[in-house]
Amino acid sequence: MLDSFRLAARNIRYRKKRSWLTILGTLVGILAIVALISIGQGLQNSVQSEFQELGGDKVYISPGGNSIASSFTSSTAKLTEDSLQTVRNSRGVEQALGTISARKQVRYSQETSYLSITGLPGGERSSLIQETNGLETTKGRFIRNTDTYSIVLTENAAENAFEDEITLRNKLDINGTEYRVVGIVEASGRPGGSIYMETDQARELTGKEDEYDEITARISGGFTPSEVEGNIREELRRSRGLEEGEEDFTTNTASDIIDSFTSQLALIRGFLVGLGAISLLVGGVGIMNTMYTSVTERTKEIGVMKAVGATNWQILRIFLIESGMIGLIGGLLGVIGGLAISYGASGIISEQVGLPMEPGASPELIFGSLAFAFVVGTVSGFFPARKAAKMNPVEALRYEK
């Protein structure tokens, strides 16, 4: 066996240019697969960690149900003050707050942009939403209950919504009314608004007098998210006179959001990995072509080995090991390149999105990719190796190039 490996390594070195071109096909395929899986796993782990930290103990309620029956109850398909009070009274709920959302035209320095606005209670009560959306004040302060025509902007909106950067005490025109910027926040949690304002100001701006676009509930200690979610659904159905399956509202927990994100990410990742697999398949065809050429060029050599007593299995083994080594070398270089790309991409994502991220470079991914590359190389070399093993030694010795 050791002699077979030495002979295979010698043949790869002897045909360096052809071998490297063949290795390149496997390298590209493995590189793409490792990079995409590593980035996808890292992104998934990061999002799961963030949601568990910021929203693991929360239930989110929004208007609109998924059932056909809910379409016939549109008159009650809103979240009102009564809905908020019902959620607060549900067993296992420690705190609940309602928010108002809208997208409005905003003017600043003769420029116009459309930004998302979120209305929420000011003061200490806003801590629940700040925690959920990962809002950290970097300049100025957050919304107070007594604020009138005052707003807080996310850093992204302040820096990128208009050509000129928005700073504290600047005024923005929203639907013809001026609002003064009292704070800038960094957002790292659930997607929220670009502008935050006190609830009464948001009602005045949007015309939503007795309506919420979402209710966020914090779970009391000793209760599980699924348990409290069930209690909230039961209480809301009772207060709205609905049967189970007729809900005109939707509830979600961090687990639901993570599962939805994970399933979508898996589809995208599967598609991209499929493209990498196609490249790996092309690399396998390249290995097969190279091995067929190698068998043809070494016909006399094969004849000599058979003449001195080499068996069909020994000939087959030599060529299988050679093709497997080509695949393994390509796989090793592909793994190194893929991990390098994933670490670089993770750094860019962390910097641009503000989401701490480490690529998912698990031992299973690394060794699995190497084994896969070796198997692809070995399988691709099987038919050329079988051709070599079946050669008639007399005919092989007579062969002329």
pLDDT of 189 reads 67
pLDDT of 72 reads 44
Q: Rounded CA gap, 97 and 87, in Å?
A: 9
Predicted confidence (pLDDT) at residue 207 exceeds the cutoff of 70? yes
Highest mean pLDDT among 245-259, 299-313, 363-377: 363-377
Q: Rounded CA gap, 363 and 244, in Å?
A: 46
Domain count for the chain, please give it: 2
Q: Domain boundary at 210, 229, 254, which? A: 254
- The model's confidence at residue 185, banded by pLDDT at 50, 70 and 90, is very high
Q: 248 with 346, same domain?
A: no
Least confident of 23-37, 52-66, 150-164, 238-252: 52-66
Predicted confidence (pLDDT) at residue 340 exceeds the cutoff of 70? yes
Predicted confidence (pLDDT) at residue 22 exceeds the cutoff of 90? no
Q: 262 with 247, same domain?
A: no
- The model's confidence at residue 74, banded by pLDDT at 50, 70 and 90, is very low
Which residues lie across from 58 on neighbouring strands? Answer: 218
pLDDT of 181 reads 95
Mean pLDDT of the region 84-99: 93
Q: 329 with 380, same domain?
A: yes
Q: Rounded CA gap, 170 and 179, in Å?
A: 8
Q: Domain boundary at 200, 230, 254, which? A: 254
pLDDT of 71 reads 43
- The three-state DSSP-derived secondary structure of the chain is CHHHHHHHHHHHHHCHHHHHHHHHHHHHHHHHHHHHHHHHHHHHHHHHHHHHHHHCCEEEEEECCCCCHHHHHHHHCCECHHHHHHHHHCCCEEEEEEEEEEEEEEEECCEEEEEEEEEECCHHHHHHHHHHCCEEEEEECCCCCCCCCEEEEEHHHHHHCCCCCCCCCCEEEECCEEEEEEEEEEECCCCCCCEEEEHHHHHHHHCCCCCECEEEEEECCCCCHHHHHHHHHHHHHHHHCCCCCCCCEEEEEHHHHHHHHHHHHHHHHHHHHHHHHHHHHHHHHHHHHHHHHHHHHCHHHHHHHHHCCCCHHHHHHHHHHHHHHHHHHHHHHHHHHHHHHHHHHHHHHHHHHCCCCCCCCCHHHHHHHHHHHHHHHHHHCHHHHHHHHCCCHHHHHHCCC
The percentage of residues in the chain with a pLDDT greater than 70, rounded to a whole number, is: 90
- Whose tokens are 């670089």? That residue is 344
Q: Domain boundary at 222, 238, 254, which? A: 254
Pairwise pLDDT comparison (211 vs 359), residue with the higher score = 211
Q: 224 with 264, same domain?
A: no
Predicted confidence (pLDDT) at residue 400 exceeds the cutoff of 70? no
Mean pLDDT of the region 48-74: 65
- pLDDT tens for each residue of 342-384: 888 888 877 766 667 777 778 888 888 888 888 888 888 888 8
Q: 277 with 153, same domain?
A: no
First to last CA, the chain: 30
Count of CB atoms situated within 10 Å of the CB of 132: 23
- The model's confidence at residue 43, banded by pLDDT at 50, 70 and 90, is confident
pTM: 0.59
Predicted confidence (pLDDT) at residue 23 exceeds the cutoff of 90? no
Q: 32 with 105, same domain?
A: no
Q: 114 with 248, same domain?
A: yes
Q: Rounded CA gap, 336 and 361, in Å?
A: 11
Mean pLDDT of the region 153-163: 91
Range of the domain at 155: 55-254
pLDDT of 190 reads 67
